[in-house]
Structure 1
Amino acid sequence: MNIIQVTHLSLTWPEAIAVWLLRLAGEKQHVIAAKFGINVGRISDVLTEKTHVGSK
C-alpha cells in the first residue's frame, strides 16, 4: 500500500480530488484514510461534500 504523507489535520483541495479519484477507482474509505494518514471521518466529509464541495 502506498502511503501519502500528510502533516495536517484537514485535506487540501488537490487531496480532496485525489480522495474522489481513489474512491472512484474502488478503494474503500478506510483504505483511503490510511493512505493519507488521517481519520476516516475526514474522508467521509469529502465524499458527502460536507467539505470541499465541488471536488467531485
Structure 2
Amino acid sequence: MFPPDILDPPRVLLERSTNLVHLNRMDRGGHFAPVEEPELYVGELRDFFRPFR
C-alpha cells in the first residue's frame, strides 16, 4: 500500500475479510506508484512472487 491510497484498512480487518498473503505499507509513492517509484514497485512484485518460483 502506498501512502495516498484512498483506503487504509487495518491489517486485522484485511486478514479477516481476505486471503492476505503479502502486505507492506510503503513510505513513499502514490496513486501511480509504478511511474512515481518504479524501483519500489518492482521490489514489491518480486517479494510477492518469490515464494511461487
TM-score category, normalised to shorter length: under 0.3
Determine which structure has more spread, i.e. the larger CA radius of gyration.
2
